[in-house]
Amino acid sequence: MAPVPLMLARYLRCDPTPEAPLMACDAALHQEHTSREAVASLLRGPGSKQALRRLAMASPRARSPLETMARLQLYDAGIPFEDGVDIRHVGEVDLLVAGWLVLELDGYSYHEDEYQFGLDRRRDRELTRQATASPDSLAKMSRQAGLGRRFRGS
């Protein structure tokens, strides 16, 4: 069986779509099966330029394919974001969009436990307490980002 960096390098180079190879890279980086540098060191020759661009988008902070897809859509729409941001009294959030909008992208299985559900409600209340954005700023950001248009590829 080929080592993880070699498999990811081939996947990034050969797959015609960016989503699945990026999901695989995110998972491998998050679980510390490899490093971005180890994969990049194998990217030489045909298809490597595209593969290096894809690898640059990978994040060890992503914890699910849903987070990867959201990052790709935000990137394609030109909307600024950060992933895995630590917010005081809340903890790490999945995505922070435009410096103020928090997106949590957990699926049902993550919330089916009552204890976890309660923790998430506490985090939601704390985020609401800290919120400073006005409806006007949300409308302005939406217009600037062209959110009324469809995302590329949808």
pLDDT tens digits, one per residue of 47-68: 999 999 999 999 999 999 999 9
The whole-number average pLDDT for the span 101-129 is: 79
Closest CA to 10 of 35, 31, 34, 39: 39
Q: What percent of the chain has pLDDT over 90?
A: 56
81 beta partners: 97
The H or E element containing residue 17 is none
Q: What percent of the chain has pLDDT over 70?
A: 81
Average pLDDT, the chain: 84
The whole-number average pLDDT for the span 65-76 is: 93
The whole-number average pLDDT for the span 34-40 is: 96
Confidence at 151, pLDDT banded by 50, 70, 90: very low
Long-range contacts of the stretch 23-26 (C-beta < 8 A, 24+): 23/65, 23/68, 23/69, 25/54, 25/55, 25/58, 26/58, 26/59, 26/60, 26/62, 26/65, 26/67, 26/68
CB distance 25 to 58 below 8 Å? yes
The whole-number average pLDDT for the span 119-134 is: 77
CA 58 to chain centre: 8
